[in-house]
Structure 1
Amino acid sequence: MKTVVHLLSGDEAEQETALAIARNLLDDETDRIDEVAIVVQADGMAAVKADGENADQVRTLLEDDVAFRACSNTLEMLDLEESDLVDGIETVPEGAVEVTRLQSEEGYAYLRP
C-alpha cells in the first residue's frame, strides 16, 4: 500500500500530526505500507523549512525514504526558494495536482490531518 499525506496547515499541531502519521506508517509492523509521500503546500510549508522547528524530524523521515514534495506555486507565493527547504525535498509545479496524480495514477491512499 502507498499513502500520501497532504500537509496544508500552518497550525503547528497539525504539522506535527502529519509528520507523526508518516512515522507511524513507516513503523507499521504488518509491513503492508510500501511507500509514504508528504505533499506540502500553502501554510504547511513552514513545517519543511530548513531553519524550522521540524527540520530534524523531516530529515529523519527523508532518510527513511519518505518522499516530500513541495508546491512550487506556494514557494513563489511565499517568496521562498527551494534552498529555504530541508535538503532532499523535491518540488512539484502544483501540490494539489501532485496529490491527485499520486491518487489516480499511482494508487496512493489520501490522508489529511
Structure 2
Amino acid sequence: METVVHLVSGDETEQKTALNIVRNLLDDETGSIDDVAVVAQAGGIESVTIDGDSEKQVQSLLDDGVSFKACSNTLDVMDLNESELIDGIETVPEGAVEITRLENEGYAYMRP
C-alpha cells in the first residue's frame, strides 16, 4: 500500500501530528506499507523549511525514504525560495495536482 499525507495547515500541532503519522506508517510491522509521500502546501510549507520546528523530524523521514514534495505555487505566494527548503525536498508545480496524481496512482490520502 502507498499513502500520501497532505501537509496543508499552518497549525504546528497538526503538522507534528502529520509527521508522527508518517513515522507510524514507516514503523508498521505488518510490512503492508510500500511507500509514503508527503505533499506540503499553504501553511504546511513551514514544516519543510530550513530552521523550521520540524526540520530534524523531516530530515529523519527523508533519510528513511519518505518523499517530500513542496508546492511551487505556495513558495511563490509566500515569497520563499527553493533554497529555503530542507535538502531533499522536491518541488512540484501545484500541490493539489500532485495529490490528485498520487491518488490516481493508488495512494491512499491522509490529512490529520
Q: Deviations over 1:38-85 (max 9, x none)?
A: 000000011111110110000000000000000000000000011101
Which residue does 1:63 correspond to in 2? 63
Q: Does 1:98 align with 2:106?
A: no
**Relative to structure 2, which stretch is displaced further, 91-100 or 44-53?**
44-53
Q: What CA distance in whole angstroms lies between the structure 2 residues aligned with 1:70 and 1:30?
A: 29
With the length of structure 2 as denominator, give the TM-score of the two structures.
0.99
Structure 2 match to 1:27: 27
The 1-side partners of 2:77 and 2:51 are apart by 19
Aligned length: 112
Amino acid at match of 1:70: A
Let me know the Cα RMSD of the aligned residues.
0.4
Q: Which runs of 5+ in 2 are unaligned?
A: none
Q: 1-side partners of 2:50 and 2:59: how far apart?
A: 9
Within a 5 Å distance, the mapping from 1:1-113 to structure 2 comes to 1-104=1-104, 106-113=105-112
In 2, the alpha carbon distance for the partners of 1:44 and 1:53 equals 12
Q: Structure 1 unaligned runs (5+)? A: none
Deviations 1:5-56 (A, max 9, x none): 0010000000001100100000000000000000000000111111101100
TM-score by length of 1: 0.98
2: CA distance, partners of 1:30 / 1:17: 22
